[in-house]
């Protein structure tokens, strides 16, 4: 979405209003979710992204109420085509590039369990326990140990 908008503006297209960018971003995300279930062949990925670029361009153009004459000029087509290719590359190789970059930055890989296991501690009682007064005899609740019979 951002690459499409950026290249659209770079080619001289008018910017749509912010609310249009917001709902287009949400709609693009919803439309892309079913495509994330399994990998796509590169040709199908590029074709879907090209269709998305055309839809985004037309939406940018109509919501900005400022456009070009009888069709998109060559710079506009070229920049949207470039946005399609760059988006395809990011989607195809982005995760591997991020992992490679992170492995260079982080010298020691994180263990599978990055968060320490905290020892369980006693939890404070929800009611205060009344202080015990020194008592004598059987009323204290303490009694001598029972005799052991063998």
Q: Provide the number of structural domains found in the chain.
A: 1
pTM: 0.58
C-alpha dist (Å) from residue 84 to 53, 87, 95, 147: 7, 5, 18, 88
Classify residue 6: in a domain, yes or no.
Answer: yes
Classify residue 52: in a domain, yes or no.
Answer: yes
Please give the residue range of the domain that contains residue 37. Answer: 2-105
Classify residue 30: in a domain, yes or no.
Answer: yes
CA 56, CA 9: separation in Å to the nearest integer?
A: 12
Classify residue 88: in a domain, yes or no.
Answer: yes
CA 53, CA 81: separation in Å to the nearest integer?
A: 8
What would the DSSP string read from start to end of 66-98?
---SSS--HHHHHHHHHHHHHHHHHHHHHHHHH
Residue 80: which pLDDT band, with cuts at 50, 70 and 90?
very high
Classify residue 33: in a domain, yes or no.
Answer: yes
Mean pLDDT of 39-65: 88
Residue 94 corresponds to which tokens in the numbers above? Answer: 């982005």
Residue 90 corresponds to which tokens in the numbers above? Answer: 């990011």
Angle of the 2-10 helix axis to the 74-105 helix axis, nearest 10: 130
pLDDT for residue 147: 73
Encode pLDDT of 4-44 as tens digits. 999 999 998 888 989 999 999 999 999 888 887 888 888 98
Looking up tokens 């796509």 gives: 40
């Amino acid at each position: 979405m951002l690459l499409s908008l950026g290249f659209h503006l770079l080619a001289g297209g008018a910017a749509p209003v912010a609310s249009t960018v917001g709902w287009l971003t949400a709609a693009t995300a919803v439309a892309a979710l079913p495509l994330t279930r399994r990998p796509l062949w590169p040709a199908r990925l590029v074709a879907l992204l090209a269709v998305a670029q055309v839809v985004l361009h037309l939406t940018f153009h109509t919501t900005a109420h400022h456009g070009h004459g009888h069709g998109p000029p060559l710079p506009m087509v070229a920049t949207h085509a470039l946005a399609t290719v760059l988006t395809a590359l990011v989607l195809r190789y982005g995760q591997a590039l991020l992992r490679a970059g992170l492995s260079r930055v982080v010298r020691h890989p994180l263990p599978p369990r990055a968060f320490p296991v905290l020892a369980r501690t006693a939890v404070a009682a929800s009611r205060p326990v009344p202080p015990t007064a020194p008592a004598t005899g059987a009323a204290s609740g303490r009694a001598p140990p029972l005799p052991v019979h063998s």
